[in-house]
Amino acid sequence: MTDRVVVAGAVFDEGRLLAARRSAPPELAGRWELPGGKLEPGETAEQALVRELREELGVEAEPGERIPGEWPLAPGYVLQVWTVRIVSGEPRPLEDHDELRWLFRHELDTVDWLDQDRPAVAEAACRLPVG
């Protein structure tokens, strides 16, 4: 069977990457992720990403390029990541997160990323200015 896709956004702004701290479920709470969520039936990954970032962060987002790769989550799920530009709004932790941080490249190790997000964060880091 095909794996179900969870999409996440590497949201860039002014040379920084957005990190979001999960507030649920208990086993993931306190860990940091690239925000996103599961595709709903009939949605493309880009549509799901725009919807999730609207619901969770209150922003209008525009997906850019897919970050190459696909990372396994719980059995039956895989994580795909797109670069994202915010078109309007200031991200706020409305749903699923209790804190947001904008991180410069040299700060990416200062939060406890979910293990499965780490390769995607490393790929995203290559798109941030050095320093």
Contacts to ligand 523 by CB under 6 A: 6, 8, 28, 33-34, 36-38, 73-74, 77, 79, 96, 114, 116-117
Cβ 57 to ligand 523, closest distance in Å? 12
| Alpha-carbon separation of residue 8 from 79, 113, 131 (angstroms) | 7, 13, 25
Instruction: List beta partners, residue 80.
Output: 7
Question: In the structure encoding, which two tokens stand for residue 13, read together?
Answer: 């702004």
Per DSSP, the chain holds a count of helices (H) and strands (E) of 2, 7
| Alpha-carbon separation of residue 85 from 16, 89, 125 (angstroms) | 11, 11, 15
Q: Which is nearer to ligand 523, 37 or 93 (CB)?
A: 37
Q: Which is nearer to ligand 523, 115 or 130 (CB)?
A: 115
Q: Which is nearer to ligand 523, 25 or 131 (CB)?
A: 25
Which residue, judged by CB position, is nearest to ligand 523 in the bound state? 37
Closest alpha carbon to 20 in 94, 78, 73: 94
Cβ 74 to ligand 523, closest distance in Å? 5
Strands (E), 1-131: 4-13, 16-22, 32-33, 36-38, 60-72, 77-88, 97-103
Cβ 56 to ligand 523, closest distance in Å? 7
Cβ 131 to ligand 523, closest distance in Å? 25
Q: Which is nearer to ligand 523, 78 or 128 (CB)?
A: 78
